Amino acid sequence: MDRFWIKQYPPGTPADIDPNEYTSLKQLIDGSCRQFADRTAYIQMERRLSYAQLDQLSSRFAAWLQQRGLRKGERVAIMLPNILQYPIVMFGALRAGLTVVNTNPLYTATELEHQLRDSGATALVVLENFAAVAQQTLAAVPVPNVVVTGVGDLLGFPKGALVNFVLRHVQRKVPSWSIPHARSLGEVLTSAPAVPTPVDVGHDDIAYLQYTGGTTGVSKGAMLTHGNMVANILQARAWFKQVEIENTTYVCALPLYHIFSLTANCLLFSSLGGTGHLITNPRDFPGFVKELRRHPPMFFMGVNTLFNALMNTPGFSALDFSRLVATVGGGMAVQRAVAERWQRVTGCVVTQGWGLTEASPAVCVNPLVGVPFTGAVGLPLSSTEVTIRDDDGKDVGLNTSGELCARGPQVMRGYWQRPEETAKVMLPDGWLRTGDIGRMDDRGYVFIEDRKKDMIIVSGFKVFPNEVEDVVAHHPGVAEVAAVAQADERSGEVVALFIVKKDPALTADEILEYCHKSLTGYKMPRHIYFRDSLPKTNVGKILRRALRDELVSPTT
Protein backbone atom coordinates (compact mmCIF):
# COMPACT_ATOMS: atom_id res chain seq x y z
CA MET A 1 0.00 0.00 0.00
CA ASP A 2 1.00 3.65 -0.41
CA ARG A 3 2.55 4.74 2.89
CA PHE A 4 2.13 8.40 2.05
CA TRP A 5 2.57 9.41 5.70
CA ILE A 6 6.31 8.74 5.43
CA LYS A 7 6.62 12.21 3.89
CA GLN A 8 5.75 13.61 7.33
CA TYR A 9 8.46 11.65 9.15
CA PRO A 10 11.04 13.71 11.03
CA PRO A 11 14.40 14.00 9.22
CA GLY A 12 16.52 10.88 9.55
CA THR A 13 13.63 8.57 10.44
CA PRO A 14 13.73 5.49 8.18
CA ALA A 15 10.68 4.17 6.36
CA ASP A 16 11.60 0.66 7.52
CA ILE A 17 13.58 -0.99 10.28
CA ASP A 18 15.67 -4.15 9.96
CA PRO A 19 14.14 -6.67 12.41
CA ASN A 20 17.19 -8.90 11.95
CA GLU A 21 19.44 -6.47 13.78
CA TYR A 22 18.87 -8.71 16.80
CA THR A 23 18.05 -12.40 16.66
CA SER A 24 16.13 -12.18 19.95
CA LEU A 25 15.61 -10.19 23.13
CA LYS A 26 18.19 -12.50 24.67
CA GLN A 27 20.85 -11.21 22.28
CA LEU A 28 19.74 -7.63 22.94
CA ILE A 29 19.97 -8.09 26.72
CA ASP A 30 23.32 -9.86 26.56
CA GLY A 31 24.76 -7.09 24.41
CA SER A 32 23.48 -4.26 26.62
CA CYS A 33 24.81 -5.84 29.80
CA ARG A 34 28.28 -6.10 28.26
CA GLN A 35 28.33 -2.76 26.44
CA PHE A 36 27.00 -0.67 29.34
CA ALA A 37 28.42 -2.69 32.25
CA ASP A 38 29.59 0.35 34.23
CA ARG A 39 26.36 2.32 33.86
CA THR A 40 23.43 2.36 36.26
CA ALA A 41 20.53 0.36 34.87
CA TYR A 42 17.95 1.01 37.61
CA ILE A 43 17.47 3.03 40.76
CA GLN A 44 15.00 2.06 43.50
CA MET A 45 14.86 4.06 46.73
CA GLU A 46 18.38 5.39 46.04
CA ARG A 47 19.78 1.87 45.55
CA ARG A 48 21.58 1.62 42.20
CA LEU A 49 21.82 -1.54 40.11
CA SER A 50 24.48 -1.46 37.38
CA TYR A 51 24.23 -3.30 34.08
CA ALA A 52 27.08 -5.52 35.29
CA GLN A 53 25.07 -6.46 38.38
CA LEU A 54 21.95 -6.96 36.26
CA ASP A 55 24.00 -9.27 34.04
CA GLN A 56 25.31 -11.30 36.98
CA LEU A 57 22.03 -11.63 38.87
CA SER A 58 19.81 -12.33 35.86
CA SER A 59 22.32 -14.95 34.68
CA ARG A 60 22.12 -16.66 38.06
CA PHE A 61 18.34 -16.64 37.99
CA ALA A 62 18.37 -18.08 34.47
CA ALA A 63 20.74 -20.83 35.62
CA TRP A 64 18.50 -21.63 38.60
CA LEU A 65 15.45 -21.99 36.39
CA GLN A 66 17.34 -24.37 34.14
CA GLN A 67 18.64 -26.23 37.18
CA ARG A 68 15.03 -26.74 38.26
CA GLY A 69 14.35 -28.48 34.97
CA LEU A 70 12.53 -25.72 33.06
CA ARG A 71 13.04 -26.14 29.34
CA LYS A 72 12.91 -23.69 26.48
CA GLY A 73 9.40 -22.28 25.97
CA GLU A 74 8.04 -23.08 29.45
CA ARG A 75 6.20 -20.24 31.15
CA VAL A 76 7.37 -18.20 34.14
CA ALA A 77 4.75 -15.99 35.83
CA ILE A 78 6.12 -12.78 37.38
CA MET A 79 3.95 -11.05 39.98
CA LEU A 80 6.08 -8.06 40.97
CA PRO A 81 5.70 -4.26 41.08
CA ASN A 82 8.44 -1.83 40.00
CA ILE A 83 11.31 -3.06 42.14
CA LEU A 84 14.86 -4.10 41.23
CA GLN A 85 13.84 -7.75 41.31
CA TYR A 86 11.57 -7.35 38.28
CA PRO A 87 14.22 -6.74 35.57
CA ILE A 88 16.49 -9.36 37.16
CA VAL A 89 13.83 -12.05 37.09
CA MET A 90 12.34 -11.04 33.73
CA PHE A 91 15.71 -10.85 31.97
CA GLY A 92 16.74 -14.11 33.63
CA ALA A 93 13.69 -15.93 32.29
CA LEU A 94 14.34 -14.64 28.76
CA ARG A 95 18.02 -15.59 28.95
CA ALA A 96 16.97 -19.12 29.89
CA GLY A 97 14.83 -19.30 26.74
CA LEU A 98 11.58 -19.23 28.71
CA THR A 99 8.31 -17.33 28.14
CA VAL A 100 7.40 -14.55 30.58
CA VAL A 101 3.82 -14.31 31.83
CA ASN A 102 3.48 -10.80 33.26
CA THR A 103 1.01 -10.87 36.14
CA ASN A 104 -0.65 -7.95 37.91
CA PRO A 105 0.33 -8.09 41.62
CA LEU A 106 -3.14 -6.78 42.54
CA TYR A 107 -4.93 -9.76 41.01
CA THR A 108 -7.46 -11.60 43.13
CA ALA A 109 -7.02 -15.33 43.66
CA THR A 110 -9.64 -15.99 40.96
CA GLU A 111 -7.85 -13.80 38.40
CA LEU A 112 -4.48 -15.30 39.24
CA GLU A 113 -5.89 -18.83 39.01
CA HIS A 114 -7.19 -18.16 35.49
CA GLN A 115 -3.86 -16.78 34.31
CA LEU A 116 -1.75 -19.57 35.83
CA ARG A 117 -4.08 -22.27 34.57
CA ASP A 118 -4.43 -20.78 31.10
CA SER A 119 -0.69 -20.19 30.63
CA GLY A 120 0.40 -23.47 32.19
CA ALA A 121 3.11 -21.65 34.14
CA THR A 122 5.62 -23.93 35.85
CA ALA A 123 7.25 -21.17 37.90
CA LEU A 124 5.92 -18.16 39.80
CA VAL A 125 7.87 -15.24 41.27
CA VAL A 126 5.74 -13.21 43.68
CA LEU A 127 6.21 -10.31 46.09
CA GLU A 128 5.61 -11.43 49.67
CA ASN A 129 2.86 -8.79 50.02
CA PHE A 130 0.78 -10.93 47.63
CA ALA A 131 1.98 -14.38 48.64
CA ALA A 132 -1.25 -15.02 50.56
CA VAL A 133 -3.19 -14.63 47.31
CA ALA A 134 -0.76 -16.98 45.60
CA GLN A 135 -1.24 -19.48 48.43
CA GLN A 136 -5.00 -19.56 47.81
CA THR A 137 -4.44 -20.00 44.07
CA LEU A 138 -1.83 -22.74 44.33
CA ALA A 139 -4.32 -24.99 46.09
CA ALA A 140 -6.28 -25.12 42.83
CA VAL A 141 -3.45 -24.72 40.32
CA PRO A 142 -0.20 -26.22 41.62
CA VAL A 143 2.96 -24.53 40.37
CA PRO A 144 6.08 -26.58 41.15
CA ASN A 145 8.52 -23.67 41.41
CA VAL A 146 7.65 -20.67 43.58
CA VAL A 147 10.02 -17.85 44.50
CA VAL A 148 9.08 -15.13 47.02
CA THR A 149 10.80 -11.80 47.60
CA GLY A 150 10.33 -8.68 49.74
CA VAL A 151 10.36 -5.06 48.60
CA GLY A 152 13.60 -4.33 50.44
CA ASP A 153 15.51 -7.52 49.63
CA LEU A 154 17.90 -5.87 47.14
CA LEU A 155 18.17 -2.46 48.76
CA GLY A 156 21.20 -3.36 50.88
CA PHE A 157 21.69 -3.16 54.63
CA PRO A 158 20.31 -1.49 56.68
CA LYS A 159 17.78 0.16 54.33
CA GLY A 160 16.43 -3.12 52.96
CA ALA A 161 15.90 -4.62 56.38
CA LEU A 162 14.19 -1.46 57.58
CA VAL A 163 11.87 -1.30 54.56
CA ASN A 164 10.85 -4.93 55.03
CA PHE A 165 10.34 -4.47 58.78
CA VAL A 166 8.08 -1.45 58.27
CA LEU A 167 6.00 -3.16 55.58
CA ARG A 168 5.65 -6.38 57.59
CA HIS A 169 5.22 -5.16 61.14
CA VAL A 170 4.34 -1.45 61.13
CA GLN A 171 2.16 -0.98 58.07
CA ARG A 172 1.13 -4.67 58.08
CA LYS A 173 1.21 -4.86 54.30
CA VAL A 174 2.31 -8.50 54.29
CA PRO A 175 -0.53 -10.88 55.27
CA SER A 176 0.57 -14.18 56.74
CA TRP A 177 1.16 -16.89 54.16
CA SER A 178 2.47 -20.42 53.88
CA ILE A 179 3.82 -21.99 50.70
CA PRO A 180 6.01 -24.87 51.95
CA HIS A 181 7.96 -25.38 48.73
CA ALA A 182 8.63 -21.66 48.13
CA ARG A 183 12.20 -20.39 48.01
CA SER A 184 13.40 -16.87 48.74
CA LEU A 185 14.88 -14.98 45.81
CA GLY A 186 17.96 -14.18 47.87
CA GLU A 187 18.59 -17.87 48.47
CA VAL A 188 18.05 -18.63 44.78
CA LEU A 189 20.51 -15.96 43.60
CA THR A 190 23.27 -17.04 46.00
CA SER A 191 22.95 -20.79 45.41
CA ALA A 192 22.54 -20.88 41.62
CA PRO A 193 25.36 -21.46 39.12
CA ALA A 194 26.89 -18.24 37.80
CA VAL A 195 26.24 -19.00 34.13
CA PRO A 196 23.18 -20.58 32.47
CA THR A 197 23.37 -23.26 29.83
CA PRO A 198 23.39 -21.68 26.35
CA VAL A 199 20.04 -21.84 24.56
CA ASP A 200 19.15 -20.82 21.01
CA VAL A 201 16.29 -18.33 20.83
CA GLY A 202 14.97 -16.80 17.60
CA HIS A 203 12.34 -14.46 16.24
CA ASP A 204 9.61 -17.11 16.18
CA ASP A 205 9.95 -18.08 19.84
CA ILE A 206 7.37 -16.61 22.23
CA ALA A 207 8.89 -14.04 24.60
CA TYR A 208 5.73 -13.01 26.46
CA LEU A 209 2.21 -14.15 27.08
CA GLN A 210 0.79 -10.70 27.72
CA TYR A 211 -2.75 -11.03 29.03
CA THR A 212 -5.36 -8.57 27.81
CA GLY A 213 -9.11 -8.20 27.53
CA GLY A 214 -9.83 -8.88 31.18
CA THR A 215 -12.03 -5.78 31.44
CA THR A 216 -14.30 -6.92 28.61
CA GLY A 217 -14.40 -10.67 29.04
CA VAL A 218 -12.09 -13.59 29.66
CA SER A 219 -8.49 -12.45 29.75
CA LYS A 220 -6.49 -13.77 26.78
CA GLY A 221 -2.74 -14.23 26.41
CA ALA A 222 -1.35 -12.33 23.43
CA MET A 223 1.59 -14.31 22.05
CA LEU A 224 4.34 -11.74 21.57
CA THR A 225 7.38 -13.29 19.95
CA HIS A 226 11.00 -12.22 20.24
CA GLY A 227 10.62 -10.95 16.68
CA ASN A 228 7.57 -8.85 17.61
CA MET A 229 9.31 -7.26 20.58
CA VAL A 230 12.63 -6.67 18.83
CA ALA A 231 10.77 -4.97 15.96
CA ASN A 232 8.87 -2.61 18.26
CA ILE A 233 12.04 -1.68 20.14
CA LEU A 234 13.79 -0.89 16.87
CA GLN A 235 10.77 1.08 15.66
CA ALA A 236 10.85 3.15 18.86
CA ARG A 237 14.60 3.68 18.57
CA ALA A 238 14.22 4.87 14.98
CA TRP A 239 11.52 7.33 16.05
CA PHE A 240 13.41 8.59 19.09
CA LYS A 241 16.41 9.58 16.96
CA GLN A 242 14.77 13.02 16.85
CA VAL A 243 16.20 13.67 20.33
CA GLU A 244 19.25 12.65 22.34
CA ILE A 245 18.54 9.15 23.69
CA GLU A 246 21.99 7.80 24.52
CA ASN A 247 22.79 7.37 28.22
CA THR A 248 19.46 8.88 29.18
CA THR A 249 17.44 8.83 32.39
CA TYR A 250 13.75 8.05 32.52
CA VAL A 251 11.09 7.83 35.18
CA CYS A 252 9.39 4.45 35.41
CA ALA A 253 6.08 4.94 37.19
CA LEU A 254 3.86 2.80 34.97
CA PRO A 255 4.15 -0.85 36.04
CA LEU A 256 6.77 -2.79 34.12
CA TYR A 257 4.44 -5.76 33.83
CA HIS A 258 2.22 -3.62 31.57
CA ILE A 259 3.14 -3.74 27.88
CA PHE A 260 3.47 0.05 27.46
CA SER A 261 6.03 0.37 30.22
CA LEU A 262 7.68 -2.96 29.43
CA THR A 263 8.54 -1.93 25.86
CA ALA A 264 8.76 1.86 26.01
CA ASN A 265 10.63 2.02 29.32
CA CYS A 266 12.36 -1.22 30.23
CA LEU A 267 13.35 -2.77 26.91
CA LEU A 268 13.83 0.36 24.79
CA PHE A 269 16.12 2.14 27.23
CA SER A 270 17.91 -1.05 28.28
CA SER A 271 18.99 -1.39 24.65
CA LEU A 272 20.43 2.14 24.88
CA GLY A 273 22.12 1.91 28.26
CA GLY A 274 19.57 4.18 29.95
CA THR A 275 18.93 4.57 33.67
CA GLY A 276 15.42 3.84 34.90
CA HIS A 277 14.15 5.39 38.10
CA LEU A 278 11.68 2.85 39.50
CA ILE A 279 8.63 4.28 41.28
CA THR A 280 7.38 1.38 43.38
CA ASN A 281 4.19 3.08 44.57
CA PRO A 282 3.14 5.72 42.01
CA ARG A 283 -0.15 6.27 43.87
CA ASP A 284 1.81 7.95 46.66
CA PHE A 285 1.89 11.24 44.77
CA PRO A 286 3.63 13.34 47.47
CA GLY A 287 6.34 10.68 47.63
CA PHE A 288 6.46 10.56 43.83
CA VAL A 289 7.09 14.32 43.69
CA LYS A 290 9.94 13.94 46.18
CA GLU A 291 11.52 11.27 43.97
CA LEU A 292 11.23 13.54 40.92
CA ARG A 293 12.92 16.31 42.89
CA ARG A 294 15.88 14.02 43.60
CA HIS A 295 16.03 12.52 40.10
CA PRO A 296 14.77 14.92 37.37
CA PRO A 297 14.13 12.70 34.31
CA MET A 298 14.90 13.27 30.64
CA PHE A 299 12.01 11.05 29.51
CA PHE A 300 8.61 10.63 31.11
CA MET A 301 6.18 7.97 29.90
CA GLY A 302 2.71 8.19 31.42
CA VAL A 303 -1.04 8.15 31.02
CA ASN A 304 -3.57 10.96 31.21
CA THR A 305 -4.69 10.22 34.78
CA LEU A 306 -1.09 10.11 36.01
CA PHE A 307 -0.22 13.47 34.45
CA ASN A 308 -3.40 14.97 35.89
CA ALA A 309 -2.82 13.62 39.41
CA LEU A 310 0.79 14.82 39.51
CA MET A 311 -0.16 18.34 38.46
CA ASN A 312 -2.70 18.41 41.28
CA THR A 313 -0.02 17.42 43.82
CA PRO A 314 1.56 20.25 45.85
CA GLY A 315 5.18 20.84 44.91
CA PHE A 316 5.03 19.40 41.41
CA SER A 317 4.91 22.76 39.62
CA ALA A 318 8.05 23.87 41.50
CA LEU A 319 10.18 20.95 40.21
CA ASP A 320 13.14 21.43 37.87
CA PHE A 321 12.06 20.38 34.37
CA SER A 322 15.10 21.73 32.56
CA ARG A 323 16.34 18.22 31.70
CA LEU A 324 12.96 16.95 30.47
CA VAL A 325 13.39 16.13 26.78
CA ALA A 326 10.15 14.34 26.02
CA THR A 327 6.86 13.34 27.62
CA VAL A 328 5.02 10.49 25.93
CA GLY A 329 1.38 9.71 26.70
CA GLY A 330 -0.33 6.45 25.84
CA GLY A 331 -2.56 3.74 27.24
CA MET A 332 -5.61 6.01 27.04
CA ALA A 333 -6.56 9.29 25.36
CA VAL A 334 -4.67 12.33 26.62
CA GLN A 335 -7.19 15.07 27.24
CA ARG A 336 -6.37 18.42 25.69
CA ALA A 337 -6.88 20.23 29.01
CA VAL A 338 -4.33 17.96 30.68
CA ALA A 339 -1.84 18.27 27.80
CA GLU A 340 -2.07 22.05 27.73
CA ARG A 341 -1.58 22.34 31.48
CA TRP A 342 1.38 19.90 31.39
CA GLN A 343 3.08 22.05 28.76
CA ARG A 344 2.52 25.21 30.82
CA VAL A 345 3.96 23.61 33.94
CA THR A 346 6.86 21.64 32.48
CA GLY A 347 7.56 23.44 29.21
CA CYS A 348 7.33 20.07 27.44
CA VAL A 349 4.68 19.02 24.90
CA VAL A 350 2.88 15.76 25.60
CA THR A 351 3.67 13.53 22.63
CA GLN A 352 0.71 11.24 22.25
CA GLY A 353 1.06 7.74 20.84
CA TRP A 354 -1.24 4.81 20.29
CA GLY A 355 -0.96 1.07 20.36
CA LEU A 356 -2.33 -2.05 21.99
CA THR A 357 -1.07 -5.18 23.68
CA GLU A 358 -1.53 -7.18 20.48
CA ALA A 359 1.00 -4.90 18.72
CA SER A 360 3.79 -5.02 21.33
CA PRO A 361 2.33 -2.23 21.74
CA ALA A 362 3.28 0.83 19.62
CA VAL A 363 1.58 1.48 16.27
CA CYS A 364 1.54 5.29 15.91
CA VAL A 365 3.45 8.12 17.60
CA ASN A 366 3.63 11.86 17.02
CA PRO A 367 6.97 13.52 16.27
CA LEU A 368 8.75 14.28 19.55
CA VAL A 369 9.77 17.82 18.63
CA GLY A 370 8.30 20.67 16.64
CA VAL A 371 4.69 19.46 16.73
CA PRO A 372 2.11 20.94 19.14
CA PHE A 373 -0.53 18.81 20.82
CA THR A 374 -3.40 18.37 18.35
CA GLY A 375 -5.21 15.34 19.73
CA ALA A 376 -3.75 13.10 17.01
CA VAL A 377 -2.03 9.91 18.13
CA GLY A 378 0.57 10.35 15.44
CA LEU A 379 1.89 8.70 12.30
CA PRO A 380 2.30 4.96 11.72
CA LEU A 381 5.77 3.88 12.81
CA SER A 382 8.47 2.58 10.47
CA SER A 383 7.53 -0.72 8.77
CA THR A 384 3.91 -0.20 9.91
CA GLU A 385 0.72 0.16 7.88
CA VAL A 386 -2.65 1.47 9.10
CA THR A 387 -6.03 1.44 7.36
CA ILE A 388 -9.52 2.46 8.42
CA ARG A 389 -12.21 -0.17 7.74
CA ASP A 390 -15.93 -0.72 8.12
CA ASP A 391 -17.59 -3.66 9.87
CA ASP A 392 -17.16 -5.78 6.75
CA GLY A 393 -13.41 -5.15 6.68
CA LYS A 394 -13.51 -2.79 3.68
CA ASP A 395 -11.30 0.31 3.55
CA VAL A 396 -13.36 3.50 4.05
CA GLY A 397 -10.62 5.91 2.94
CA LEU A 398 -9.28 9.11 4.47
CA ASN A 399 -11.13 11.49 6.80
CA THR A 400 -13.83 8.89 7.46
CA SER A 401 -14.38 7.13 10.77
CA GLY A 402 -14.03 3.38 11.01
CA GLU A 403 -12.14 0.65 12.82
CA LEU A 404 -8.38 1.08 12.83
CA CYS A 405 -6.50 -1.92 11.44
CA ALA A 406 -2.73 -2.31 11.67
CA ARG A 407 -0.07 -4.46 10.06
CA GLY A 408 3.62 -4.72 10.83
CA PRO A 409 6.34 -6.90 12.34
CA GLN A 410 5.20 -5.95 15.86
CA VAL A 411 1.72 -7.55 15.49
CA MET A 412 1.24 -10.62 17.67
CA ARG A 413 1.15 -14.21 16.46
CA GLY A 414 -2.31 -14.64 18.00
CA TYR A 415 -3.96 -15.49 21.32
CA TRP A 416 -2.56 -18.38 23.33
CA GLN A 417 -4.61 -21.54 22.72
CA ARG A 418 -7.58 -19.48 21.47
CA PRO A 419 -7.81 -19.86 17.68
CA GLU A 420 -11.45 -18.68 17.62
CA GLU A 421 -10.56 -15.43 19.42
CA THR A 422 -7.55 -14.97 17.15
CA ALA A 423 -9.76 -15.34 14.06
CA LYS A 424 -12.00 -12.53 15.30
CA VAL A 425 -9.21 -9.95 15.24
CA MET A 426 -6.79 -11.16 12.58
CA LEU A 427 -7.75 -10.39 8.98
CA PRO A 428 -6.08 -12.01 5.97
CA ASP A 429 -2.52 -10.93 5.14
CA GLY A 430 -1.62 -10.13 8.74
CA TRP A 431 -3.99 -7.23 9.40
CA LEU A 432 -5.07 -6.74 13.04
CA ARG A 433 -8.50 -5.36 13.90
CA THR A 434 -7.74 -3.14 16.87
CA GLY A 435 -11.24 -2.41 18.15
CA ASP A 436 -10.46 1.32 18.16
CA ILE A 437 -12.58 3.75 16.14
CA GLY A 438 -10.70 6.52 14.41
CA ARG A 439 -9.74 8.27 11.19
CA MET A 440 -6.67 9.27 9.20
CA ASP A 441 -6.23 12.72 7.72
CA ASP A 442 -4.66 13.71 4.39
CA ARG A 443 -1.16 13.80 5.87
CA GLY A 444 -1.43 10.38 7.48
CA TYR A 445 -2.02 11.48 11.07
CA VAL A 446 -4.30 9.12 12.97
CA PHE A 447 -7.00 10.33 15.35
CA ILE A 448 -8.63 7.96 17.85
CA GLU A 449 -12.28 8.68 18.48
CA ASP A 450 -12.98 5.87 20.91
CA ARG A 451 -13.08 2.19 21.64
CA LYS A 452 -15.68 0.43 19.54
CA LYS A 453 -17.17 -1.23 22.61
CA ASP A 454 -17.49 2.13 24.45
CA MET A 455 -19.48 3.91 21.74
CA ILE A 456 -22.70 5.57 22.94
CA ILE A 457 -25.59 5.37 20.44
CA VAL A 458 -28.17 8.12 21.09
CA SER A 459 -31.22 7.78 18.82
CA GLY A 460 -28.97 6.30 16.15
CA PHE A 461 -26.31 9.01 16.48
CA LYS A 462 -22.83 7.97 17.57
CA VAL A 463 -21.30 9.74 20.56
CA PHE A 464 -17.62 9.23 21.34
CA PRO A 465 -17.00 9.30 25.12
CA ASN A 466 -13.53 10.79 24.57
CA GLU A 467 -15.07 13.87 22.95
CA VAL A 468 -17.46 14.48 25.84
CA GLU A 469 -14.77 13.81 28.43
CA ASP A 470 -12.38 16.21 26.73
CA VAL A 471 -14.95 19.02 26.96
CA VAL A 472 -15.81 18.38 30.61
CA ALA A 473 -12.16 18.00 31.63
CA HIS A 474 -11.57 21.66 30.72
CA HIS A 475 -13.93 22.77 33.50
CA PRO A 476 -11.72 24.13 36.32
CA GLY A 477 -13.85 22.37 38.95
CA VAL A 478 -13.35 18.89 37.48
CA ALA A 479 -10.49 16.61 38.56
CA GLU A 480 -11.49 13.48 36.59
CA VAL A 481 -14.37 12.52 34.33
CA ALA A 482 -15.68 9.48 32.49
CA ALA A 483 -18.57 9.32 30.02
CA VAL A 484 -20.52 6.08 29.53
CA ALA A 485 -23.77 4.89 28.01
CA GLN A 486 -26.87 4.65 30.19
CA ALA A 487 -29.98 2.89 28.90
CA ASP A 488 -32.94 5.11 28.03
CA GLU A 489 -36.46 4.10 26.96
CA ARG A 490 -36.81 6.87 24.37
CA SER A 491 -33.39 7.14 22.73
CA GLY A 492 -31.92 3.73 23.49
CA GLU A 493 -28.92 5.22 25.25
CA VAL A 494 -27.92 8.58 26.68
CA VAL A 495 -24.68 10.04 27.96
CA ALA A 496 -23.95 9.62 31.66
CA LEU A 497 -21.04 11.35 33.38
CA PHE A 498 -19.08 10.22 36.42
CA ILE A 499 -17.08 13.11 37.89
CA VAL A 500 -14.50 13.52 40.62
CA LYS A 501 -14.61 17.12 41.83
CA LYS A 502 -11.64 19.42 42.14
CA ASP A 503 -13.98 22.12 43.47
CA PRO A 504 -16.20 20.72 46.25
CA ALA A 505 -18.90 23.29 45.37
CA LEU A 506 -19.28 22.08 41.80
CA THR A 507 -22.88 21.21 40.81
CA ALA A 508 -24.50 19.21 38.03
CA ASP A 509 -26.20 22.38 36.73
CA GLU A 510 -22.81 24.04 36.28
CA ILE A 511 -21.58 21.05 34.26
CA LEU A 512 -24.67 21.11 32.04
CA GLU A 513 -24.34 24.84 31.42
CA TYR A 514 -20.67 24.36 30.54
CA CYS A 515 -21.42 21.49 28.15
CA HIS A 516 -24.09 23.48 26.31
CA LYS A 517 -21.34 25.75 24.97
CA SER A 518 -19.49 22.91 23.19
CA LEU A 519 -21.78 19.93 22.70
CA THR A 520 -24.75 19.46 20.41
CA GLY A 521 -28.03 18.21 21.87
CA TYR A 522 -27.64 14.43 21.52
CA LYS A 523 -24.11 14.57 22.98
CA MET A 524 -25.27 16.38 26.11
CA PRO A 525 -25.06 14.40 29.37
CA ARG A 526 -28.43 13.37 30.74
CA HIS A 527 -27.18 11.98 34.05
CA ILE A 528 -24.33 13.25 36.23
CA TYR A 529 -22.90 11.28 39.14
CA PHE A 530 -20.26 12.60 41.51
CA ARG A 531 -17.78 10.14 42.99
CA ASP A 532 -14.79 10.37 45.32
CA SER A 533 -12.77 8.27 42.87
CA LEU A 534 -13.15 6.37 39.61
CA PRO A 535 -12.26 2.71 39.06
CA LYS A 536 -8.99 2.26 37.15
CA THR A 537 -6.80 -0.41 35.65
CA ASN A 538 -3.29 -1.09 36.92
CA VAL A 539 -1.89 1.71 34.70
CA GLY A 540 -4.55 4.24 35.66
CA LYS A 541 -6.92 3.84 32.72
CA ILE A 542 -10.51 4.52 33.80
CA LEU A 543 -12.68 1.40 33.66
CA ARG A 544 -15.78 2.57 31.84
CA ARG A 545 -17.29 -0.93 31.93
CA ALA A 546 -17.24 -0.92 35.75
CA LEU A 547 -19.09 2.40 35.69
CA ARG A 548 -21.66 1.10 33.21
CA ASP A 549 -22.26 -1.84 35.50
CA GLU A 550 -23.20 0.58 38.30
CA LEU A 551 -26.07 2.01 36.29
CA VAL A 552 -29.61 0.68 36.57
CA SER A 553 -31.19 -0.32 33.23
CA PRO A 554 -33.55 0.75 31.84
CA THR A 555 -33.95 4.32 33.10
CA THR A 556 -35.99 7.25 31.93
Residue-by-residue pLDDT tens, the chain, 556 positions? 899 999 999 999 999 999 999 999 999 999 999 999 999 999 999 999 999 999 999 999 999 999 999 999 999 999 999 999 999 999 999 999 999 999 999 888 988 999 999 999 999 999 999 999 999 999 999 999 999 999 999 999 999 999 999 999 999 999 999 999 999 999 999 999 999 999 999 999 999 999 987 434 578 999 999 999 999 999 999 998 888 777 799 999 999 999 999 999 999 999 999 999 999 999 899 999 999 999 999 999 999 989 999 999 999 999 999 999 999 999 888 999 999 999 999 999 999 999 999 999 999 999 998 899 999 999 999 999 999 999 888 999 999 999 999 999 999 999 999 999 999 999 989 999 999 999 999 999 999 988 888 889 888 777 889 889 999 999 999 999 999 999 988 888 999 999 999 999 999 999 999 999 988 898 999 999 999 999 998 788 899 989 998 886 444 3
Length of the chain: 556
Instruction: Tell me the CA distances in angstroms from 233 to 90, 245, 351, 361, one per residue in order.
Output: 17, 13, 18, 10
Instruction: Tell me the C-alpha to C-alpha distance, in Å, between residue 110 and each of 78, 116, 137, 345.
Output: 16, 10, 7, 42
Q: Which class for 345: exposed (0-12), middle (13-18), buried (19 or more C-beta within 10 A)?
A: middle
Question: pTM of this prediction?
Answer: 0.87
- The interaxial angle of helices 85-95 and 51-67, nearest 10 deg, is 60
Query: How confident is the model at residue 554, as a pLDDT?
Result: 40
Going 419 to 423 to 428 to 429, the CA torsion angle's sign is negative
Residue from 58, 51, 49, 22 nearest 34 by CA: 51
Distance CA 556, CA 550 (A): 16
- Rg (the chain; Cα; Å): 23
Rounded Cα distance, 435 and 476, in Å? 32
Amino acid at 389: R
User: Which pLDDT score is estimated for 217?
Assistant: 56
The pLDDT value given to residue 552: 64
Tell me how far apart the alpha carbons of residues 456 and 484 are, in angstroms, rounded to a whole number: 7
Contact indicator for 439, 387 with CB cutoff of 8 Å:
no
Task: Kindly list the structural domains of the chain, giving each domain's residue range(s) and its CATH number in brackets, ordered by start.
Answer: 1-21+232-404+443-452 (3.40.50.12780), 455-550 (3.30.300.30)
| 3 state SS for 453-484 | HHCEEECCEEECHHHHHHHHHCCCCEEEEEEE
Nearest one of 24, 19, 22, 20 to 200, comparing CA atoms: 24
CA 35 to CA 39: how far, in whole Å? Answer: 9
For position 215, what pLDDT does the model report? 36
pLDDT of amino acid 219? 84
- What is the H or E stretch that residue 166 is in? none
